[in-house]
Every structure is written in C-alpha cells, then in structure tokens.
A and B are shown apart, each in its own frame.
Chain A
Amino acid sequence: MSVIESYRLRLRRKRSQLRARLRRRDLKPVTDRTRAIRRPDILLFCTLRNERVRLPYFLRYYRELGVDHFLFVDNGSTDGSREYLTEQPDTSVWSTRASYKRAHFGVDWLNGLQMRYGHDHWTLVVDPDEFLVYPFCDTRPLRALTDWLDTSQVRSFGAMMLDMYPKGHIAGQPYIEGRDPLEIACWFDSGNYAISRNGIYGNLWIQGGPRARAFFADDPKAAPALNKVPLVRWDRKYAYVSSTHMLLPRGLNLVYDALGGEKASGCLLHAKFIDTFAAKAEEEMARGEHYAASREYTAYREELAKTPELWCKWSEKYINWRQLEILGLMSKGNWA
C-alpha cells in the first residue's frame, strides 16, 4: 500500500466522518437514555423502518446475549415501532424522515451515533432481522467474547451473514410476534459462497447463498455481499464505509487469517425470508431507497413470483453454532 493510497483512504475516512456529523442533524431524539450507559457496556446500534412485529423477539435475543443498551434510528415507521421502542427501559431512539439512501443506507446516521456514544465501547451493528451467533454463544454471554477479544488485543469480530429460509413457500407460515423467526426460517445454504479479497480495503467480499443461487444466477456480480464486521471495539476515529461490510481504518477489516490459520468468527443469521418479506419488498420497491436502485428487491419480486421457494434438497437445517463451525461457515479460532 503506497503512501498516496493510504492517504486517500484517510481522506475517505475523514469524509465519512464529516458526513456522519452533518447527517446527525437529520436525527431527532425521541427518547434519550444514553446517560444510563456505563463504562463497560455493550451497545447495539440499529436502523429500522416498520419492523414492529419483529422487535419483541429481537430485543429479547440481544438482551439475553448481554447487550446493555440499544440505540435505534427509526426511519419514519408508521406501524408503531417507534412507540414500542420508546417504552423499553434500555433503549434510546432517534427518529428521522430523511432519505435512507442519501444517508448512505443508514450508515451515516449510525456512524454519527457511534462516534458520539460508542467511543471505547464494544458496539454491535445489526438489522432487526439479523441474529448474531458466535462460538459458545449457547454457554457464554457476549461479554465473555468481548473480554476475550480485549485480552487478545483484537478490535473487530467478523460475522458473515447467513441467509435463512423456510422449507416451502416463503410466506407459507405466518410469523407470530415474539416468536423466534428462525423456527420458521431454519434452513440455509452450507457451501456455495464465492470469496475474493478487496485489494483496497483489505476485506473479504463474500457472495453466495440462496439469494445468489435463486435470484442472481445470471448476474452473480450483483449478488448481495454477505461479509460483515458487526462487532467492533469502537473508537471515534472509526467509520463504516459500506453498510457493515467494510470499515476504515483498514486494519479493522482483517478479521481473517491469510497464512492458513483460522481466526474466531461468527454468523449473522439473517431471517429476512419469512411471510413479512413480500410486503416489505413491495414497500421498498415503491420507496426506491435501497442499494443500486433497489435492484435486489426487483430481482426478488420477479423471481419469487415464479418460484416462491428457496429450499432445495441440499439445504441444511440449522441446529446450533457447532454445526456452523463444522461446516466451515464460522470458526472458534483459538478460543477454547
């Protein structure tokens, strides 16, 4: 990496941070309980729009893992999400009607909040349909992981997005509020991921899974990226560049080992494909606020009209994190 290139990345990071500061003006505080945040707390940051039905389970899941405080940006929900969140004891909520797209798909908003509240905390950035699974998550709380990362002097933890889907029609089973969506969407693709390295940012670019297989078989380059670095020991100098796929400074993207070893990593179980999906896709199409002119949603709508099933005979049924580790989707690294 030449001096010029690293300087260019520095500028890029500064620009992201400036944008985050400017976009912070979009956000209007609804409930601010950030004074309750204590020194060692683990914080969760999330942008959402009309996810009311998913929220009770989402909050329960992450509270049980040991998240201490939730910071939400509500992007103009009309289904009572905001009201529901403000009633919770451990949340702070900001609301905005500004464009999701212009805020770089929410990245600017969350960068701004993280800059302000996340400094020197372990921060987790996830969507309401993403559930973090890490090694030993059934017996050790999230703090065990972050403490271990601290002692190992690791600042960021990678967790690939794993798209989950039901067997049969996507909308075949109705999702009931408060239930685990992974009871319905419990299948995944175990080994069809294409990985390449991004030379500039140093991160891996992972594509594949059911979305690539079913919707992007003719245009694999356009398939959504699955690599994510959602858990970071935040510093106000850091910035997410593109969703949580990439960060600056570049060192944070090196969540993989290039010499043959395995670093510890987790998975974000992505329970997007349940019966709420069709309505969501329609709505997002109409808003056109998503990445690359909502290409993803267009593809979904077209393909799902033809075959509304992602399941195939090689799909794996989700059991636990150990299964994912055996399949080689995540790793314990040297955490034992």
Chain B
Amino acid sequence: MTVGFVMLCHTAFDRAAQVARHWAERDCPVVIHVDRRVRRPAYDRLVEALADLTNVRFSGRHACEWGTWGLVAATQEASTLMLREFPQVRHVYLASGSCLPLRPVEEMVAYLDERPRTDFIESVTTGDVGWTVGGLNIERFTLRFPFSWRKQRLLFDWYVGLQRRIRFRRRIPAGLVPHLGSQWWCLTRQTLSAILDDPDRARYDRFFRKVWIPDESYFQTLVRLYSSNIESRSLTLSKFDFQGKPHIFYDDHLQLLRRSDCFVARKIWPHAGKLYRFFLSPDREGQAQAEPNPGKIDRLFAKAVERRTKGRPGLYMQSRFPDANWINIRTAAPYSQFQGFSDVFKNFETWLGKTAGTRVHGHLFAPGRVEYAGGETVYNGALSDSAKMRDYNPKSFLTSLIWNTRGERQCFQFGPGDRQDINGFVAADPNAQISVISGAWAIPLFRSNANFGDIRREAARLQKIEAEYLDLLRNHWIKARVRVWTLAEFVENPMEPLQTIVDEISPRAMRRLTEVPCMVDLTGFGQFLQNLRNQGMQPVLMGDFPAGDGQPPGNPRRGRPYLVQ
C-alpha cells in the first residue's frame, strides 16, 4: 500500500517537477494539476520534464483564482484520476507545487501504514476558528460573494455589509455542519471516494461553488459525513502570517525544518537551492520514528506576527512610528521625573542614585544644555547634550534616551525653569512616574543673591509655569503615576514620600531608608515668602508656610531630627 500525491501547481514548475520526480521515483504516484491560467509552453515543458515517469499523470486544468471554486474542482478531478489510475494508493496527499518533503517517503508510508484508517485533515467548526481572513466564519457559508476579495475589495465589503443589513442568508444543505481548516490534507481512499462518489455530490457542489474560499471548507466539511477516524491536523507544515499569506521558508531555515520532524513543508522559496538539495538528496537518512513537532517553527512565526502587529513598545524608528494617541505605552521602560527635589535637598541626585540604584540625571530639559548624569556631553546612543537638538524634537529625545538605556531606570530633575514642551507627552505616558514638590522653585530664589525686584519677577514667572503644569497633571487623560506635595507638606514630613518613591523605583529592595538626603536650610524662608506677598506677588504653590521664623510648621524636633539642619 502506498500514498499518492495530488499536486496543485501554478508557478515555479522546475521545483514542482523536482519534487514530483522525487516522489514518483520512490513508488508514490503523482497527479499534477496545473492552473489553466498558465501558458501552454510552460505547461508543455513540465509535461515533458516528467514524461519518463510512468506513475505521473496530469489532470484536466481549471483556473484557480484564490478563494474560488476552481481549486476544489481541480482537487476533485485530480483525486478522481488518482483513485482510478492507481489502485495501490490507500492515502491521497494533497500538496502544492511549492511543497517540499522533509522526511524520506518511506517514513511517511510507514507512518500512514500504521494508521490505515486515519484521515489527516484539519477540520474545525466555524465557531472555534480565530484565524479567518476578513473575519468571516459562518458567513462564508451563508452569504454570497460575487466580488473578488483581492481585486474588488470595496465592492466585496459593501456587499457583505448589505447582506448583513438585510439579513440575507443562504440555506446550508441538510446534514452539513460547516467546518473549516487548512486546505492541505491527507485522506484515505475510503473517505475520499465516498466524498467524490456521493449521490448528493451535485447538490453539495452547487452549494460550495458559492461559498467563499471553498478549498478551506469543502473537504473539511464533507469529511465529517464519512470518516470514522479524523485526526484534525494537517501533515503539511504551513504557517500563515497576519494577512493570511503563507510564511515562506528559505535556506537559513534548514535546521529548523530538519528538527521539526514534519513530513511536508510549505511554502518553500523556489530559489532556496540548499533546502531542495538537502531534503531531496537520495542518501538522506531518516530520523527515528518521531511525531511531527513544529513547535519551534510555530514560535518563530508567532513572534514575527507579533512584531508586525504590536512591535517593540517604546521604539520609534523608520518602520515603526506609532501615533501617540493610538497606543498606550509611549516609552520603552519606566522612568521618573522629579520636580523640586534637588531644590529641597542638597545632594538629592547622588543620594537617589545610591539608594535606588538608578541613573539620575540633572535637568535633562534645562534651557542651556542637557544635564546628563556625571556631566557627560554625549550620552548612551550618542545623544548630544545640545539643547537646540533636544528642543528641535523633545519627544524623539526622550524616547531615544529611554530606549537606549533599556534595562537601567532613568531618573531626571525637572522644574518650571526647564523647557516645558514635553509635558503633555510625559503626563500621558504610563511609564512615567512624576513627583512634584510644588513651590520648591522658590528655594533657589530665596538663597540667591539677586535684587528683590528680579526675584519677584522670576518667582511670578516660575509660579505661572508650574501652575500650568499642575493643571495639566489634573486632567482625566493622565496616565503617568503622579504625586504632588506642596513644599510645606513635604518639609513637614519628607521621609514618607521619599520612601514611597524609592519603593516604587526599586520594589525589590523594600527596606527602610537608612541614609537620607540633606535638606537645605530654610530658616527665614517664611519671611521671604511674606516679603514676596508684601511686594504684591502671591506665592500660592508652597502651601502654608507661616511668615514667622521660617521654620516649617509643626514641631521641628518631631520625626527624624537629623533630616533638618
């Protein structure tokens, strides 16, 4: 007993001939169907190339446009021919011209001999498939499809929509339960002949003629009527990408294919000479009796589809440029923005770097230059410290920095004195952690040696900018993790906020802070604010600082005394 191959070919005939010869020379009859749209000379050449083989036949030609009945008609005719001409055939294997046997034919024959009654055909009820092109499942059977999906897509979609609206439904012939599956199957003579010789076949054919992509449903549905033993999987390794096009195998897939233990793979690039040479070589020795195991290849292609549909989060490049409003994650990794902390603490940056084990930059958006950690002039990925380059495209600057430093959390200082163009972007980024001590910008002014008139003007400017930012952070569409304290609040109890932030940055550390940053001397700060008020400027963002001695409200001895100098 043996297996016969029905091959559907429409291109790359020299490769098809090579494979057909391989099978035929190993006593497996081959029936070849060539698409009618192929020109005569090419067809004649193929016939001639295989003329010396007695067990190769050519069946009547049908035009096989994708998704149309022609493919089924071709399969029917070729299968009939196969069953009639070669009585020794027990299993019929449907293959295409771009299929390649991966294991010696003898192994396949032995495998099928052990399972003489089994039909290998993927056959799944319409409710259970998630992979159909165009999202049509049961509707493939109940609607009409007079327009080509590839060439008349608009009409196709419009007509489907119209039929849905008017609730048009075709009647499915009694007794049929629609099933779908890969078009590449391997059926026993018993089952296949039962389908082909069915007295009702004309009725079924009439129905399937108007079904969409009948080659994925005709045999898959009818086999359920006759087969006693269906193994619902295809023996052909064939993977589809997100557009429903088969993935193609190249020379560099050789090891993967070899280890997959599948019998036949599709589709092979016609110029993949190494694959054809290797798998069709006569002295190829078989592996042990292994079950097909396409797991690795499945993963490879699943990853490719994911890359094409989801991509790498936070990456902006020539072939991935997501519109910020259509995606959730805007950057590659979590990062923290600190506003006011380096004003309140003297050595905040070094302290944070040491405590949380992260990279802590200065004011990345300072107007003069980009203040990278350690005063670097060029940073990871060869980012320049030029403020002009950063301001030319701040989004690209920030996303590049976060992308370039994947694996190391970035923290940076921010403030109302910095460029504010990036604010909306950061605020809507779930990867951002924004911590603000509002009004802390007044501390450097308080400690500065400027004329009070200038200080007053600067204070008014900074307050306006920060107030705008805080307003922005109150919006409903904000996705960043935002925390805001007023200066008064923060100074009263600095440990708790610091602990929360550090825990969030390095959750695994989870220990009490032992070393704390050194707070600047705020003696007289209350009076300073009062002076601003007296000059007609209303500082509001600091919270309630008493005008008196400048000590923060509450008992300075309370809590952790070493915090306040």
- Chain B residues with CB under 8 A of A208: 396
- Chain B residues with CB under 8 A of A148: 248
- Taking a contact as CB atoms under 8 Å apart, the answer to whether B382 and A194 are in contact is no
Among B78-86, B170-178, B209-217, B397-405, the stretch in contact with A: B397-405
- Taking a contact as CB atoms under 8 Å apart, the answer to whether A260 and B269 are in contact is no
Considering the complex, give the chain A residue whose CB is closest to the CB of B247: A336
Q: How far is the CB of A3 from chain B (nearest CB, A)?
A: 18
- Taking a contact as CB atoms under 8 Å apart, the answer to whether A152 and B243 are in contact is yes
Chain B interface extent, by class: 35 or more
Partner of B321, one of A147, A190, A204, A314: A204
Taken together as a complex, chains A and B put the C-alpha atoms of A158 and B311 apart, in Å, by 17
Q: How far is the CB of A209 from chain B (nearest CB, A)?
A: 8
- Taking a contact as CB atoms under 8 Å apart, the answer to whether A221 and B318 are in contact is no
- Chain B residues with CB under 8 A of A313: 378
- Taking a contact as CB atoms under 8 Å apart, the answer to whether B252 and A139 are in contact is yes
- Taking a contact as CB atoms under 8 Å apart, the answer to whether B319 and A136 are in contact is no
Between A158, A159, A314, the greatest number of chain B beta carbons within 10 A of the residue's beta carbon is seen for: A314
The interface residues of chain A, by DSSP majority, are classed as loop
A193 interface residue (CB < 8 Å to B):
yes
B250 interface residue (CB < 8 Å to A):
yes
Taken together as a complex, chains A and B put the C-alpha atoms of A154 and B259 apart, in Å, by 32
Taken together as a complex, chains A and B put the C-alpha atoms of A192 and B399 apart, in Å, by 10
B312 interface residue (CB < 8 Å to A):
yes
A257 interface residue (CB < 8 Å to B):
yes
Q: How far is the CB of B371 from chain A (nearest CB, A)?
A: 16
Taken together as a complex, chains A and B put the C-alpha atoms of A328 and B332 apart, in Å, by 11
Taken together as a complex, chains A and B put the C-alpha atoms of A313 and B372 apart, in Å, by 15
Among B222-230, B383-391, B540-548, the stretch in contact with A: B383-391
- Taking a contact as CB atoms under 8 Å apart, the answer to whether A194 and B386 are in contact is no
Interface size on A, residues (CB 8 A): 59
- Taking a contact as CB atoms under 8 Å apart, the answer to whether B384 and A256 are in contact is no
With A194-B396, A262-B307 as given contacts, are A144 and B269 in contact (CB-CB < 8 Å)? Answer: yes
Considering the complex, give the chain A residue whose CB is closest to the CB of B242: A334
- Taking a contact as CB atoms under 8 Å apart, the answer to whether A195 and B326 are in contact is no
Q: Considering the complex, which residues of chain A in the window 165-190 have a beta carbon less than 8 Å from any beta carbon of chain B?
A: 189-190
Q: How far is the CB of A326 from chain B (nearest CB, A)?
A: 10
- Taking a contact as CB atoms under 8 Å apart, the answer to whether B383 and A261 are in contact is no
Partner of A330, one of B245, B319, B384, B393: B319
A20 interface residue (CB < 8 Å to B):
no
- Chain A residues with CB under 8 A of B313: 260
- Taking a contact as CB atoms under 8 Å apart, the answer to whether B403 and A191 are in contact is yes
Taken together as a complex, chains A and B put the C-alpha atoms of A227 and B241 apart, in Å, by 27
Considering the complex, give the chain A residue whose CB is closest to the CB of B406: A328
- Chain B residues with CB under 8 A of A206: 318
A329 interface residue (CB < 8 Å to B):
yes
Taken together as a complex, chains A and B put the C-alpha atoms of A257 and B313 apart, in Å, by 13
- Chain A residues with CB under 8 A of B381: 189-192, 314
Q: How far is the CB of B322 from chain A (nearest CB, A)?
A: 4
Partner of A336, one of B245, B301, B320: B301
Taken together as a complex, chains A and B put the C-alpha atoms of A152 and B308 apart, in Å, by 13
Taken together as a complex, chains A and B put the C-alpha atoms of A195 and B252 apart, in Å, by 33
Considering the complex, give the chain B residue whose CB is closest to the CB of A226: B318
- Chain A residues with CB under 8 A of B247: 336
Considering the complex, give the chain B residue whose CB is closest to the CB of A197: B321
- Chain B residues with CB under 8 A of A158: 318-319
- Chain B residues with CB under 8 A of A192: 381-384, 400
- Taking a contact as CB atoms under 8 Å apart, the answer to whether A256 and B404 are in contact is no
- Taking a contact as CB atoms under 8 Å apart, the answer to whether A256 and B382 are in contact is no
- Taking a contact as CB atoms under 8 Å apart, the answer to whether A227 and B318 are in contact is yes
A220 interface residue (CB < 8 Å to B):
yes
With A261-B309, A328-B403, A334-B305 as given contacts, are A255 and B382 in contact (CB-CB < 8 Å)? Answer: no
- Chain A residues with CB under 8 A of B303: 336
Considering the complex, give the chain A residue whose CB is closest to the CB of B392: A220
Considering the complex, give the chain A residue whose CB is closest to the CB of B251: A139
Q: How far is the CB of B195 from chain A (nearest CB, A)?
A: 31
B310 interface residue (CB < 8 Å to A):
yes
A258 interface residue (CB < 8 Å to B):
yes
Q: Considering the complex, which residues of chain A in the window 253-268 have a beta carbon less than 8 Å from any beta carbon of chain B?
A: 255-265
Partner of B388, one of A210, A217, A329: A217
- Chain A residues with CB under 8 A of B322: 257-260
Q: How far is the CB of A247 from chain B (nearest CB, A)?
A: 14
A315 interface residue (CB < 8 Å to B):
yes
- Chain A residues with CB under 8 A of B269: 144, 147
Taken together as a complex, chains A and B put the C-alpha atoms of A151 and B404 apart, in Å, by 34
Between A143, A259, A328, the greatest number of chain B beta carbons within 10 A of the residue's beta carbon is seen for: A328
B325-339: contact bitstring with A at CB < 8 Å (1 yes, 0 no)? 011000000000000
- Taking a contact as CB atoms under 8 Å apart, the answer to whether A260 and B250 are in contact is no
Q: How far is the CB of A194 from chain B (nearest CB, A)?
A: 4
Q: Considering the complex, which residues of chain A in the window 62-85 have a beta carbon less than 8 Å from any beta carbon of chain B?
A: none
Taken together as a complex, chains A and B put the C-alpha atoms of A260 and B326 apart, in Å, by 8
Considering the complex, give the chain A residue whose CB is closest to the CB of B402: A191
Q: How far is the CB of B143 from chain A (nearest CB, A)?
A: 24
- Taking a contact as CB atoms under 8 Å apart, the answer to whether A263 and B308 are in contact is yes
B287-329: contact bitstring with A at CB < 8 Å (1 yes, 0 no)? 0000000000000110111011111110111111111001100
- Taking a contact as CB atoms under 8 Å apart, the answer to whether A256 and B321 are in contact is yes
Taken together as a complex, chains A and B put the C-alpha atoms of A148 and B250 apart, in Å, by 11
Q: Considering the complex, which residues of chain A in the window 237-286 have a beta carbon less than 8 Å from any beta carbon of chain B?
A: 255-265
- Chain A residues with CB under 8 A of B271: 141, 143-144, 147
- Chain B residues with CB under 8 A of A194: 389, 392-393, 396-397
Q: How far is the CB of B39 from chain A (nearest CB, A)?
A: 13
Taken together as a complex, chains A and B put the C-alpha atoms of A206 and B250 apart, in Å, by 32
B380 interface residue (CB < 8 Å to A):
yes
B379 interface residue (CB < 8 Å to A):
yes
Q: How far is the CB of B252 from chain A (nearest CB, A)?
A: 4
- Taking a contact as CB atoms under 8 Å apart, the answer to whether B327 and A259 are in contact is yes
Q: Considering the complex, which residues of chain B in the window 186-228 have a beta carbon less than 8 Å from any beta carbon of chain A?
A: none
Considering the complex, give the chain A residue whose CB is closest to the CB of B318: A160
Taken together as a complex, chains A and B put the C-alpha atoms of A32 and B61 apart, in Å, by 43
- Chain B residues with CB under 8 A of A257: 308, 311, 319-322
Q: How far is the CB of A335 from chain B (nearest CB, A)?
A: 7
With A160-B318, A259-B326, A332-B307 as given contacts, are A221 and B392 in contact (CB-CB < 8 Å)? Answer: yes
With A261-B311, A333-B307 as given contacts, are A151 and B318 in contact (CB-CB < 8 Å)? Answer: no
- Chain B residues with CB under 8 A of A151: 245, 248
- Chain A residues with CB under 8 A of B393: 194-196, 220
Taken together as a complex, chains A and B put the C-alpha atoms of A264 and B319 apart, in Å, by 7
A331 interface residue (CB < 8 Å to B):
yes
- Taking a contact as CB atoms under 8 Å apart, the answer to whether A255 and B311 are in contact is no
Between A196, A261, A265, A333, the greatest number of chain B beta carbons within 10 A of the residue's beta carbon is seen for: A261
A12 interface residue (CB < 8 Å to B):
no
With A219-B388, A314-B379, A336-B300 as given contacts, are A255 and B318 in contact (CB-CB < 8 Å)? Answer: yes
- Chain A residues with CB under 8 A of B384: 192, 212-213, 217
- Taking a contact as CB atoms under 8 Å apart, the answer to whether B252 and A315 are in contact is no
- Chain A residues with CB under 8 A of B248: 147-148, 151
14 intermolecular pairs with C-beta atoms under 8 Å apart: A136-B252, A140-B251, A144-B271, A189-B381, A194-B393, A212-B384, A212-B389, A219-B388, A257-B321, A262-B307, A314-B379, A328-B317, A330-B317, A330-B319
A-B pairs, 9 with minimum CB distance: A191-B381, A334-B308, A265-B319, A336-B304, A194-B393, A189-B382, A191-B404, A217-B386, A139-B252
What is B's interface to A at a CB cutoff of 8 Å? 241-243, 245, 247-248, 250-252, 269, 271, 300-301, 303-305, 307-313, 315-323, 326-327, 378-384, 386, 388-389, 392-393, 396-397, 400, 403-404
Starting from the known contacts A144-B269, A259-B326, 18 additional A-B residue pairs (CB-CB under 8 Å) come to: A148-B248, A152-B241, A152-B243, A152-B245, A189-B382, A191-B380, A191-B383, A192-B381, A192-B400, A204-B318, A212-B389, A217-B384, A256-B317, A260-B311, A260-B326, A261-B309, A262-B317, A332-B307
